[in-house]
Amino acid sequence: MHALIFGGNGRIARAMTRLLLARAWTVTSIIRNPQQGPGILALGRGQPGDIHVLQYDLRDLKTAQDAETLFNRTGATCAVFAAGSFSNPYAIDRDAAKAAIAAATSLPSVTKFLMISFPASRRKPAPWWNSRDIADYTSERAAYPDIGDAKIQADEYLVAMANPRRARGGGGQHAHAHAHGPPFQAISLRPTWLTTGRATGRVSIGETRALGQVSIEDVAAVAVEMLGREDVSGWFDLVAGDVEIQEAVDSVVQGAVDCIEGEDVEAIYKLAD
């Protein structure tokens, strides 16, 4: 597999890059500053996978065609959107993400899309939250209104665009109705506040509290575990916890957990182009 990582110099992105390369994936890391190149390429040293960098300012990623060009040039089969901008969330977290989503869901060669979001990216309090969680969600939404708004629109757009793609089927030479390609995986991984602590290898995924902490290394490990499988799709809230990562991912898949529960999914489907 070949992952194209938007926001490749980010903290989660760099941790994911190392783990993907260790699993012998190819990674193309999109960065905006060429000075970041050597540091990214160094992540591939001694690893079985291949690493490439591609310089591109995500403010220029405006249309599906812009993003298609990146997928076609690289031959990537998987997209990871790990970029984010406090100063410009509508241009990056929403518009660049939507361009990447539109391209990934329209190209039969791309079969996975993983977005890094956060648990407050939802329009209604989650059904499993208590009153404390709801208060935390409300104050987080109020503290970061634009980022929240941008992220939720990108999360919803991924769900909307993946829905007809799933019906059409996926890759290979049979990319028409009832195709035999792998199913399209649309994953919104939603870690709470990030910490720089070491990997613990243990987390809590799914119907978690609204607020907490989780280490960047553990987030990356969960993301890579999800991308390593063919059967993970949906919204997954993520906090520090005590379940071993592989087991935690397996358990949300077996339990058909999807943190989109409680949102108006039919209305979200209508947001597809």
Ligand X SMILES: *[C@@H]1O[C@H](CO)[C@@H](O)[C@H](O)[C@H]1NC(C)=O
Ligand Y SMILES: NC(=O)c1ccc[n+]([C@@H]2O[C@H](COP(=O)([O-])OP(=O)(O)OC[C@H]3O[C@@H](n4cnc5c(N)ncnc54)[C@H](OP(=O)(O)O)[C@@H]3O)[C@@H](O)[C@H]2O)c1
Considering only residues 105-134, where is the footprint of ligand X by CB under 6 A? 107
Region near ligand X per CB under 6 A, out of 34-42, 68-76, 195-203, 252-260: 68-76
Of 3, 5, 12, 126, the one binding ligand Y (CB under 6 A) is 12
137 in Cβ contact with 207 (< 8 Å): no
Closest-CA residue to 171 (of 155, 185, 192): 185
Q: Does 173 bind ligand Y (CB under 6 A)?
A: no
Count of residues that interact with ligand Y, criterion CB under 6 A = 22
CB burial string 45-54: b at 16+ within 10 A, e below: eebebebbbb
Which of 43, 46, 49 has the alpha carbon at shortest distance from 10? Answer: 43
What's the length of the chain? 273
Site string for ligand X, 10-49 (x = CB under 6 A): ----------------------------------------
Structure tokens at 54: 């591609």
The answer to the question of residue 100 lying near ligand X (CB under 6 A) is no
User: Is 120:140 a contact under the CB 8 Å cutoff?
Assistant: yes
Shortest spacing between CB 109 and ligand X, in angstroms: 7
- Cβ closer to ligand Y: 108 or 237? 237
The binding track of 14-53 with respect to ligand Y, each residue x by CB under 6 A or -, is ------------------xx--------------------
Question: Of 29, 89, 71, 20, which is closest to residue 53 (Cα–Cα)?
Answer: 29
181 vs 228, beta carbon nearer ligand X: 181
One residue of 55, 65, 130, 138 binding ligand X per CB under 6 A:
65
Considering only residues 180-219, where is the footprint of ligand Y by CB under 6 A? Answer: 191, 193-194
Is 7 a binder of ligand Y (CB under 6 A)? yes
The site partner of 72 among ligand X, ligand Y, none (C-beta below 5 to 8 Å per kind) is: ligand X
Of 89 and 169, the one with the shorter C-beta distance to ligand Y is 89
Residue 72 contacts ligand X per CB under 6 A: yes
| Backbone φ, ψ for residue 190 (5° rounding) | -125, 75
Q: How far is CA 61 from CA 4, 40, 104, 122, in A?
A: 14, 21, 13, 25
268 and 156 Cβ atoms separated by less than 8 Å = yes
Q: Which two tokens stand for residue 33?
A: 């500053």
Interface region with ligand X, contact rule CB under 6 A, candidates 1-9, 63-71, 163-171, 261-269: 63-71
Q: Are 243 and 251 in contact (CB under 8 A)?
A: yes
If the CB atoms of residues 169 and 241 are measured against ligand Y, the closer one turns out to be 241
Query: According to the binding rule CB under 6 A, does residue 116 interact with ligand Y?
Result: yes
Contacts of 246 (CB under 8 A, 6+ apart): 225
Instruction: Give the interface with ligand Y as residue ranges (CB under 6 A).
Output: 7, 9-13, 32-33, 57-59, 82-85, 92-93, 116, 118, 191, 193-194
